[in-house]
């Protein structure tokens, strides 16, 4: 599994469908947020937006002409999680189809189409198909491309996802499918995170043996203790060669609510494009510090910001709604 900063052939996304109006009542606002992200990414690489046929024309009206629209029957819009995880041996492309059960909520009839998205995309890209034996989503894993994988206990070992699975068994499966041999285990830390603790809200690898991690210094904040626990674990984390990582911390955005629940907002949930970073911002006092730190880490990339809140209101953010396809 290559690092996300390796060259991409394209970025895959999925257009919001309006399936769950109780949880995400403003489909138009979500779609504008997705369009902003797609248009920003298209400055740096090809983008393919998967959409239901009934939504195709509206999608085309909102995205740039350079964004390819691909019609496919879908239920929801989290391409990172229901799309394939791409792997490569440097000469050919493969795609992993993890089992999807709606984030441990079990797969109801409304999400049967999403469980087929990975296979359809793999066929579309002519990649080699790998059918994985565990329930997992792409947003739950992150690699440095050199043999180390970062994951959370709460997702991989969730009894509603993989009952009875232990760390040793999980690591063996992930090693076989992703070509990784070194693991960093963190814990879920954000209150009201619909995913149950995806890594892409908490920490990510960056070039130069760097890990960027979410932080909260306010001891009264409900996310404080768990975020500090993750930072403590990262302090002792080492790469495949036994070298410690440099940890760059970014404070989480200020407390905000939506539909009587805290929004799980994070600056870590950004997309690494070929020559750019598409970073969510929240009209928050902490935005500038996050932008500056990302610029300092990714010195050779342009940082483009997009409004994060319209996407987070739908349950995720920029990284969650995208999936990179490595260039061969």
Question: Residues with catalytic annotation?
Answer: 320
Pairing mode, strands 246-251 and 210-215: parallel
On the CB side of 263, CA atoms within 13 Å amount to: 22
Which of 147, 161, 20 lies closest to 81 in space, CA to CA? 161
Cβ atoms of residues 110 and 201 within 8 Å: no
Cβ atoms of residues 282 and 50 within 8 Å: no
SS3 319: coil
SS3 287: helix
Which residues have CB under 8 Å from 159's CB, separation 6+?
Answer: none
Sheet with 210-215, side-by-side order of all strands: 203-206, 210-215, 246-251
DSSP secondary structure, 260-328, as one string: TEE----TT--EE-SSEEEEEE-S-TTHHHHHHHHHHHSTTSEEEEEE-HHHHTTT--TTTTEEEEE--
On the CB side of 104, CA atoms within 13 Å amount to: 18
Q: Residue 224 — φ and ψ, nearest 5°?
A: -60, -55
Give the whole-angstrom CA distance, residue 215 versus residue 252. Answer: 6
SS3 59: helix
């Amino acid at each position: 599994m290559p690092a996300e900063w390796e060259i991409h052939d394209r970025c895959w996304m999925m257009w919001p469908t309006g399936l769950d109006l109780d949880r995400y009542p403003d489909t138009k606002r979500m779609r504008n947020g997705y369009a902003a992200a797609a248009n920003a990414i298209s400055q740096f690489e090809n983008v393919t937006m998967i959409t239901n046929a009934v939504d195709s024309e509206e999608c085309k009206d909102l995205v740039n002409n350079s964004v390819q629209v691909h019609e496919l029957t879908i239920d929801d819009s989290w391409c990172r999680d229901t799309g394939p995880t791409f792997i490569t041996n440097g000469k050919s492309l493969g795609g992993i189809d993890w089992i999807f059960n709606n984030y441990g909520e079990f797969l109801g009839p409304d999400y049967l189409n999403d469980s087929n998205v990975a296979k359809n995309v793999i066929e579309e890209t002519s990649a080699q198909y790998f059918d994985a034996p565990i329930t997992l989503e792409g947003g739950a894993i992150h690699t440095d491309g050199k043999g180390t994988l970062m994951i959370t206990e709460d997702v991989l070992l969730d009894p509603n996802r993989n009952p009875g699975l232990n760390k040793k068994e999980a690591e063996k499966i992930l090693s076989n499918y992703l070509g990784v041999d070194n693991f960093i285990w963190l814990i879920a830390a954000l209150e009201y995170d619909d995913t149950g603790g995806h890594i892409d809200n908490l920490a990510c690898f960056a070039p130069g043996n760097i890990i960027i991690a979410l932080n909260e210094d306010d001891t009264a904040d409900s996310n404080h203790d768990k975020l500090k626990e993750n930072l403590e674990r990262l302090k002792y984390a080492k790469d495949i060669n036994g070298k410690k990582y440099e940890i760059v911390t970014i404070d989480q955005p200020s407390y905000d609510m939506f539909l009587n629940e805290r929004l799980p907002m994070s600056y870590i949930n950004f997309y690494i494009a070929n020559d750019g970073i598409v970073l969510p911002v929240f009209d928050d006092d902490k935005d500038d510090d996050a932008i500056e730190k990302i610029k300092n880490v990714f010195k050779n990339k342009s940082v483009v910001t997009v409004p994060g809140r319209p996407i987070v209101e739908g349950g995720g953010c920029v990284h969650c709604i995208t999936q990179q396809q490595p260039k061969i």
